[in-house]
Amino acid sequence: MPLTTKSGNPITIGVGTGSAVKLVKREDPTNAEKQQVIIDIVKNALDIGYNHIDSAEVYLTQPEVGKAIKGREREDLFITTKYAISSTFITKESFTPEEFAKQTFKELGTDYIDLFLIHFPADDYVQTWKDVIKLRDEGLVRYIGVSNFKPEEIEKLIEFEIPLVNQIEYYWGIDKPKVLDFHKKHNILIEAYSPLKPIKDPELIKLAEDANISPAQYLLKHLLDNGILPVTTSFQKEKLLDSFKVHNL
């Protein structure tokens, strides 16, 4: 993997604060008990050994991530966030990548972002990409990339700079050879969200049994073996631990 923490450590699979986690916050943003649920997910993951945390503007979970990492060695962590050019899910506070970077610093209690992604290719995403490049050049973020971009959309960015990462929905059983070939050709790392989506598939369960590993481990290992970095999550610490064990397979 081309990404490391600022201290130089390789990054683990990611623990996400989106999917069902973000709904906990959106349902009642001021509810302290629900906020604590999110904090505990991140703390549990860090205690297990995860060093890679995934968040986003539209998840509304950055303040909880900030509380979860408080007291930890920042340079040993790798934090990703995603900027929404526009959104129907939240009331935006920031309307440029620079404004959102500053919002993120405040919410996380940090002075840099490890990986800054454009969440969706909305509106004038080419100009937004130029603004994100500037953030990196100014030292506010370490790595830059995109999320949910199709190859033809990335093509429009390449003349300015090739994104290092594209975070997309990807999992065992999806047949997207053209997508894989495009990313490999341009040396773009695919980060996969929803990597456990097929976890109840009977064929998958049989393959995992034959390999003597859990279905989650089989799904995550399949991605890692193909050079794809998964981002997963769970409300249950034992499931986070089960997934993390993929690093020892």
Q: Catalytic: 59? A: yes
Distance CA 15, CA 77 (A): 12
| Strand-pair partners of 78 | 52
> Residues in the chain, how many?
249
CA dihedral of 147, 16, 247, 214, whole degrees rounded to 10: -110
Q: Token pair of 85, please?
A: 């050019």
- Residue 234, sorted as left (phi over 0), alpha (psi -120 to 50) or beta, turns out to be beta
* E runs forming strands in the chain: 14-16, 52-54, 78-83, 113-118, 141-147, 165-169, 189-193, 229-232
Ordered DSSP codes for 153-169: HHHHHHTT---SEEEEE
- Confirm or deny that 119 is annotated as ligand binding: yes
Q: Of 151, 193, 144, nearest to 165 (Cα)?
A: 144
**Residue in 50, 59, 83, 193 annotated catalytic:** 59
CB atoms within 10 A of CB 199: 16
3-state DSSP assignment of residue 192: strand
Residues in the annotated binding site: 119
- Residues with catalytic roles: 59
Binding-site members for substrate are 119
